[in-house]
């Protein structure tokens, strides 16, 4: 009796799950080799370019069904690379990203709006121990089974405590970090 009761619940649960999955926006599988999170910041008056080499994205997006679209991007902060060993050795330390305590940065958005040029994702970015609302304007190009998303975003690194103590000052390492995001994904 009890077992059959559970069985009913399980079946109903599955059906409900399937139903909500059916309503959800199209799922997309990112193509890591063709996707990139790059950034640019100034150091001692000159531009430094870098990137986060590893990140995972869960993308459910349908331009015609923005209300059920959602995105979650998880960045492996330790994969940061700026083309200079000496600098890359410093960035994981507690003054900067403190990857021992905060190995991941997460961007989550479930609110999307259409704009003149594309879309804007309103969500949150968790970096170190700071979670802040972030609006990410992006353009999207869907060609057949492939979607290409491009975004550019200026962040103030000090908002997230990237650069503690003496590094919070912006005269040697600029506060403004310009992210350039390119994600390619295949329709599931």
Hey, what are 52's tokens? 């986060």
Q: Does 10 bind another protein (CB under 8 A)?
A: no
Hey, what are 149's tokens? 């998303």
- Asked if 122 and 108 touch (Cβ cutoff 8 Å), the reply is no
Stretch that binds another protein, among 25-33, 63-71, 109-117, 164-172 (CB under 8 A): 164-172
Q: Report the residue number, 42 or 180, with the smaller CB distance to another protein.
A: 42
Q: Does 83 bind another protein (CB under 8 A)?
A: yes
Task: Count CB atoms within 10 A of the CB of residue 129.
Answer: 10
Q: Report the residue number, 42 or 68, with the smaller CB distance to another protein.
A: 42
Q: Which of 14, 20, 29, 43 binds another protein (CB under 8 A)?
A: 43
- Asked if 133 and 121 touch (Cβ cutoff 8 Å), the reply is no
- Asked if 30 and 183 touch (Cβ cutoff 8 Å), the reply is yes
What is the three-class DSSP state of 10?
helix
Q: Report the residue number, 90 or 113, with the smaller CB distance to another protein.
A: 90
Q: Does 176 bind another protein (CB under 8 A)?
A: no
- Interface with another protein (CB under 8 A): 42-48, 82-87, 90, 166-167, 169, 171-173
């Amino acid at each position: 009796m009890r077992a059959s009761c559970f069985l009913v619940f399980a079946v109903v649960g599955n059906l409900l799950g399937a139903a909500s999955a059916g309503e959800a926006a199209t799922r997309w599988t990112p193509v890591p080799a063709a996707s990139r999170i790059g950034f640019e910041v100034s150091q001692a008056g000159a531009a430094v370019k870098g990137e986060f080499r590893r990140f995972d994205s869960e993308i459910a997006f349908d331009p015609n069904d923005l209300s059920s679209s959602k995105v979650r991007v998880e960045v492996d902060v330790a994969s940061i690379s700026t083309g200079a060993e000496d600098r890359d050795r410093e960035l994981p330390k507690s003054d900067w990203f403190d990857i021992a305590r905060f190995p991941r940065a997460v961007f989550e958005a479930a609110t999307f709006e259409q704009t003149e040029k594309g879309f804007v994702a309103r969500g949150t970015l968790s970096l170190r121990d700071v979670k802040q609302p972030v609006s990410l304007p992006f353009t999207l190009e869907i060609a057949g089974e492939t979607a290409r998303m491009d975004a550019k975003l200026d962040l103030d690194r000090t908002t997230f405590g990237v650069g503690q103590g003496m590094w919070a000052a912006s005269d040697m390492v600029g506060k403004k970090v310009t992210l350039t995001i390119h994600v390619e994904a295949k329709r599931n």
